[in-house]
Amino acid sequence: MDYDISAYGDQRPDYDSMGWALRHDEEEASAFLADLAPGGRALELGVGTGRVAFPLARRGLTVVGIEGSRSMAEQLERKISDVTVEVLIGDFADVQAEGAFDLVYCISETFFLLPSQESQLRCLHNAAARLTKGGRVVVQAIVPDHDLFCSTQSTLTRQVNEQGAIIAARRHNRAEQRVDVQNIVFGSKDPAYYPMHYRYVWPSELDLMAKLAGLALASRTGGWRAEPYTASGGYVAVYEKN
């Protein structure tokens, strides 16, 4: 399948109302990120509709976002807000945002949307190059659930209720750590389709790629409230520039 940086966003014109797909962690995320760079400059990789970028800007940071989908960027720009978030259109593995940043962050497993180890490594090099001395890179990701990926294909019932159901059909390439997913939302209308393609990484691979980019792991917690890291589910990793 050809890689297209705009595909994910272009297929989600209703991103903010996809309650089932969102994390609803804007306040915790922005509080955690703001503490790492009080009053500083932050760069979000895959900023989307600004779900976390706006609350972060409201906490006094200057926030710039990189976004591959014009449709997503337009959803962000349409938002009426007391703060501004500048958006740069392009691939966050490569776009060189101007100026130095105290914080570069990539949340909601967006890092996994980069299609190959090579692009993920390039992204971390690019992030490190944007940082001030002592600056940090934050990645929110998950420890892949090995049980889900033990076969080459699977389905997952994400949600079921009286009104309908949300089913994810998945195909897995174990050698490349790549998963193609079609999320299908059944309800009163015609089914809606939300495809996604990602390359997952284990925490150890992420740490190694970060190290190769000159970034050392400072902490890995189970979430934004510094919950203990349990090597399952989600985590937040903080890297510092060497």
Ligand X SMILES: C[S@@+](CC[C@H](N)C(=O)[O-])C[C@H]1O[C@@H](n2cnc3c(N)ncnc32)[C@H](O)[C@@H]1O
Positions touching ligand X (CB under 6 A) are 5, 8-9, 46-48, 51-52, 66-69, 72, 91-93, 107-108, 110, 113-114
Residue placing its CB nearer to ligand X in the complex, 5 or 215? 5
Residue placing its CB nearer to ligand X in the complex, 152 or 233? 233
Q: What distance in Å separates the CA atoms of residue 209 and residue 139, rounded to the nearest whole number?
A: 12
Dihedrals phi, psi of 45, to nearest 5 degrees: -90, 115
Minimum CB separation of residue 137 from ligand X in Å reads 15
Minimum CB separation of residue 117 from ligand X in Å reads 14
Q: What distance in Å separates the CA atoms of residue 216 and residue 147, rounded to the nearest whole number?
A: 30
Query: Cα 111 from chain centroid?
Result: 5
Residue placing its CB nearer to ligand X in the complex, 68 or 135? 68
Three-state secondary-structure class, residue 227: coil
Closest CA to 60 of 38, 84, 82, 87: 38
Minimum CB separation of residue 7 from ligand X in Å reads 8
- Structure-token pair, residue 26: 């804007």
Minimum CB separation of residue 8 from ligand X in Å reads 4
Task: Catalogue the E-assigned strands of 126-177.
Answer: 131-142, 153-161, 164-173
Residue placing its CB nearer to ligand X in the complex, 19 or 134? 19
Q: Is the dihedral of CA 143, 35, 85, 51 positive or negative?
A: positive
Residue placing its CB nearer to ligand X in the complex, 5 or 61? 5
Three-state secondary-structure class, residue 196: strand
Minimum CB separation of residue 24 from ligand X in Å reads 10
